[in-house]
Chains A and B, each alone.
Chain A
Amino acid sequence: MPTTNDAETPLVGQTPWSAADPPGQPALFNGGAKVTPESRLPLILLIPLALAGLTILNAGLTRSRSTAHILLASLCAFCVAVLVCTAIGFSLASGSGHAIHLAGRDWNLIGNGRLFALSIDSQPLTLLLQLFSVGFASLISVAGGAERWRIAAVCASTALLAAIIYPLFLFWAQFGWLNQLGFIDGGGAASIQILGGANALCIAWILGPRHGKFTPEGIPTAMPGHSAAFVLFGCLLALVGWFGWTAGSSANGTAAVSVLAAINTVLAAAAAAIAAFVGTRVRFGKPDASLTANGWVAGLVTMSAAAPYVKPAAAILIGFVAGGAIVFAIEIIELRMKVDDPTGAISVHAVAGIWGIMALSIFGNAAFLPQLLGVATLIGIVLPVSYGLNLLMNRFVPYRVSPSGERQGLDLFELGAGAYPEFVIQREDLMRR
């Protein structure tokens, strides 16, 4: 998301931004035509391709018995997210904000825009970007609860995300106290990716693992996705859409900055995919298609934070580290934490997003403490709030489908029709042992 640091004296030892080096303008690539709303709009309109790519990728990583369900759940989540964000969320993430006075400074805590986007006149592009962004964050959560999360519960949880969780943190990171401290998040790595991944973790904890995922001894069983073609095509589609965040989010840059961001996005994704490919080849003897695709997306996620602010060589290194880390992160989350994450959403979005945010302080022009504070806010405040709200919602709208429904497959149980009616779907309980 576009960031605008104010010019007040910073608290964390960094030099204030000067007029010659405005917030968000990387020093290494000045000059060129200024970015205008007209030039940003075509890039931002690419973002739905990222949504489509992630949806297809998630569908490919789940079993065929729930394919139509996850696609419909993703669509419903997006619909609810944009409607609720327009009605409520945008008002909490815009406006001059309500501030408290503490330690000699004013701390902006929450937006005070008008409900139902009635204050849109001054910020139409911001609302458009927020709609796509909150929709994407909701898709990450849908992926975390795949194959056992009821659609009604998906919609209810997404409403909480779009009304409260997302706009609150977005305001802090974009206009509020976090931004005042110098936190930089170029394309929504924190407000979309890490937040979505944290929400997905809460959903996975509340839902519990899929039936048969862990043996009585706690050993995870493999439940491979049904379509590598979907997975790989989805990640390629996501690249095109990601330019909307990395190249299209910067409101203060020049056209040259946007090009740099696009270059960094491609380089980081490529490096991350190669790292995941090599990592799985070394670790498992053969490269894994789904982990490689996840590595590719992890590279994209890291550039959500850093794309306009780092050099291409740094983007390659950041992506390489992200891709290699994902292989281990997915393993740790499944084997050690015993969290059933069918699509690797928590690792790819939360873990890679954290690396992207912190990498900006290593390779870019962000200070270390503000970036650490941003991550600390997500872990210390956003995650507990998300867990509490979803746990409370679970009491009113049960999240988990019944065991018989899960065995039958959510396509047939919730929708009454499978995604592949002409093919025989294998079921473990029908196989002779």
Chain B
Amino acid sequence: MKLAGFLLMPAGFFIAVSAVVLLHTPPAQTVFCLAGFAIEIAGFVFVAREHLPKRSAHHQ
């Protein structure tokens, strides 16, 4: 899941940059840029969750 997160982050970046390069109307650029940014954040969340400390087993 960590690797997936680290792949999602640059994927979202390239979507955002592609939106700016390939689309020419500001509303479309904004929507797709935000979508790419959201994908980045999703990837970041995956990576952050994988770095949460593992809880120890309950000791009696």
Contacts and interface: CB of A to CB of B under 8 A. Distances in A.
B1 interface: no
A387 to B, nearest CB: 7
A13 interface: yes
Contacts of B56: 216
Interface in B10-54: 10-14, 16-17, 20-22, 26, 29-30, 33-34, 36-37, 40-41, 43-44, 47-48, 51-53
A217 B55 CA distance: 6
Label chain B's interface by main secondary structure.
Answer: helix
Contacts of B40: 376, 379-380
Nearest to A217: B55
B6 A372 contact: no
A339 interface: yes
A5 to B, nearest CB: 15
B36 to A, nearest CB: 7
How many chain B residues sit at the interface, stated as a range, is 20 to 34
A304 B22 CA distance: 31
Given A217-B55, A376-B16, A384 B33 contact: no
A380 B29 CA distance: 18
A217 B52 CA distance: 12
Contact of A338 (B9, B11, B53): B53
A378 to B, nearest CB: 9
A380 B20 contact: no
A128 interface: no
A337 B37 contact: no
A103 interface: yes
A339 B51 contact: yes
Given A380-B10, A381-B13, A372 B33 contact: yes
A377 B13 contact: yes
Contacts of A381: 9-10, 13
A369 B29 contact: yes
B6 to A, nearest CB: 5
B16 A372 contact: yes
A338 B20 contact: no
B26 A12 contact: yes
Contacts of A217: 55
Given A216-B56, A379-B40, A380-B40, A373 B51 contact: no
B13 A380 contact: yes
A103 B21 CA distance: 7
A384 B13 CA distance: 11
Nearest to B11: A380
Interface string A84-123: 0000000000000000001100000000000000000000
Contacts of B36: 376
A373 B17 contact: yes
B10 to A, nearest CB: 5
Contact of A218 (B13, B20, B30, B55): B55
25 contacts: A205-B47, A208-B53, A209-B53, A218-B52, A218-B53, A218-B55, A368-B30, A369-B30, A369-B33, A372-B33, A372-B34, A373-B33, A376-B12, A376-B13, A376-B17, A376-B40, A380-B13, A380-B14, A380-B40, A381-B9, A381-B13, A383-B9, A384-B6, A384-B9, A388-B6
Interface of B: 6, 9-14, 16-17, 20-22, 26, 29-30, 33-34, 36-37, 40-41, 43-44, 47-48, 51-53, 55-56, 59
Interface of A: 11-13, 102-103, 181, 205, 208-209, 214, 216-218, 337-339, 368-369, 372-373, 375-377, 379-381, 383-384, 387-388
Given A338-B52, A373-B20, A379-B9, 20 more contacts: A12-B20, A12-B26, A13-B26, A102-B21, A103-B22, A181-B20, A205-B51, A217-B55, A218-B53, A339-B48, A339-B51, A373-B16, A373-B17, A376-B13, A377-B13, A379-B13, A380-B13, A380-B16, A383-B44, A388-B6
